[in-house]
Amino acid sequence: MRAEVNGSRETRAEARRQIEICNACRYCEGYCSVFPALMRERSFSDADIIQFANLCHNCRGCYYACQYTEPHEFALNLPKVLAEARQDSWREYAWPRPLANLFHERGVALALAVVAGIAVIIGLARLLAPTDGEGFYAYLSHGAMVAIFLPAFVLPLVAVAVSLRRYWTSIGGGTVRLSHVIAATRAAATMKDLDGGHGDGCNFEDEDRYSNGRRHAHQAVLYGFLLCFASTSVATLMHYILDMPAPYPIYSLPKLLGLLGGILLCLGTAVLALLKVKADRSLGDVRVWGGEMAFTGLVFLVAASGLLLYAATGTSLVMPLLALHLGAVLAFFLATPFSKMMHGFYRCAALVKEAATSGLRHSITDQGNRI
């Protein structure tokens, strides 16, 4: 634990050194939200470093544009050091913390979680086999699914809430206004910080190639996830409020939302994994490369197994595919507070803080101009 704390301090000290040089140079001011934020300051606390790190989307445009990277004596590599500071902050604020150390860096842990989830589903399906039921409920009753997945959904949400509260407190987050949330939501929805500051995209894949591929892949994952969540939410309302239990036909709203969401998730995660393989690992946190790839693979597995399960309806493949899909979903839920999934929560919080800070500075400037 002490070595980990010392490592975090060293990372933040190095990030501070590099940011001070960037603040003097200011060549990259228009690239993303990180640079306007750091250029408003003259000195940088640990809270500032954490805020900048979580604003960074690791597009790497600043690195390829920088004249002070190696072999220059300044040896700047801002994407790498901010990635390391970002990962350290996720581990520091995670609750319970030991699980964060396990899942952030080790893809094997995620694989074991999937295997364990599948084993749990198969075991419960055999012990609690329903005497009746249609569709998937012929293999595992609705009550059993609720008993398994309600705690697996609620408990991670509590862990996420505790982590976010720790993060918000550490960066000095204050009162949040609706306008701040709207601005942050707009930035997150459009992936503004992956457009390179000019709309042509970033250099994540290659120094000489601008591309919006990573931006669009992130959007596919984001909207795919939201569509799948909407599908589950609509199905829940139909089941409990409208007394319309599953299974649902292909033209029903839960199925249409789920199918579109699953396709977007598969496409988005596949492209992100491909881009990550092609990109230079030295411009990110190499400690977590395997864990991030494993989580991307887990999200792909959740979506792909769901699509295959629907396609296999009425065949002998339903039971093994149901175990695979539900096991993957269970692992996804349980790993969410300690995995790459947390970057969405932290970045949204960072964008809210940035919207609040920039709005406050603009207000003060306007008041000064009027005086």
Could you report the average pLDDT of every consecutive run of 10 residues in the chain (371 residues)? Answer: 61 96 91 91 92 93 93 96 93 83 64 72 66 66 78 91 94 88 93 84 80 93 96 92 85 94 97 93 90 88 93 85 85 86 92 84 41 43
Residues 237 and 312 in one domain: yes
Q: Looking at the structure, do residues 73 and 112 belong to the same domain, yes or no?
A: no
Q: How far apart are CA 192 and CA 190, in angstroms?
A: 5
Q: Has residue 15 been placed in a domain?
A: yes
Please write down the long-range contacts of 86-90, taking CB distance under 8 Å and 24 or more positions apart. Answer: 86/53, 86/54, 86/56, 86/285, 86/343, 86/346, 87/285, 87/287, 87/288, 88/7, 88/8, 88/11, 88/12, 89/50, 89/53, 89/54, 89/167, 89/170, 89/346, 90/163, 90/342, 90/343, 90/346
pTM: 0.88
Examine residue 368 and state whether it is found in any structural domain, yes or no: no
Of residues 85, 28, 88, the one with CA closest to residue 59: 28
User: Is the same domain home to 139 and 45?
Assistant: no
Evaluate whether residue 82 is within a structural domain. yes
For residues 14 and 111, state if they share a domain: no
Q: Are residues 52 and 126 in the same domain?
A: no
Query: Which range marks the domain in which residue 350 is found?
Result: 93-357
> Does 185 lie in the same domain as 81?
no
Q: Does any domain span residue 24?
A: yes
Q: 337: which residues sit within 8 A by CB, 6+ positions away?
A: 94, 95, 99, 100, 156, 159, 160, 163
Tally of structural domains, the chain: 2
pLDDT tens-digit series, residues 192-238: 899 887 778 888 877 778 889 999 999 999 999 999 999 999 999 99
- 31, 114: one domain: no
Residues 101 and 179 both lie in one domain? yes
Query: Could you tell me if 246 and 117 lie in one domain?
Result: yes
- Note whether residue 370 is domain-resident: no
Contact 358, 62 (CB under 8 A): no
Check whether residue 102 and residue 75 sit in a common domain. no
pLDDT of residue 2: 44
42, 58, 89 - which closes a domain: 89
Is 50 inside any structural domain? yes
- Phi-psi group of 229: left, alpha or beta (phi > 0 → left; psi -120 to 50 → alpha; rest → beta): alpha
**Which of 89, 122, 152 is the endpoint of a domain?**
89
CA distance from start to end of the chain: 52
Asked, for residue 362, whether it belongs to a domain, the answer is no
Same domain, 159 and 66: no
Instruction: Check residue 30 and give its pLDDT.
Output: 82
Tell me whether residue 364 is in a domain. no
Same domain, 228 and 148: yes
What distance lies between CA 274 and its chain's CA centroid? 17
Using DSSP, state whether 123 is helix, strand or coil.
helix
Q: Which of 89, 124, 153 is a domain's end point? A: 89
Q: Which pLDDT score is estimated for 366? A: 41
pLDDT at position 125: 65
pLDDT at residue 97 in the model: 79
Which pLDDT value is given to residue 7? 57
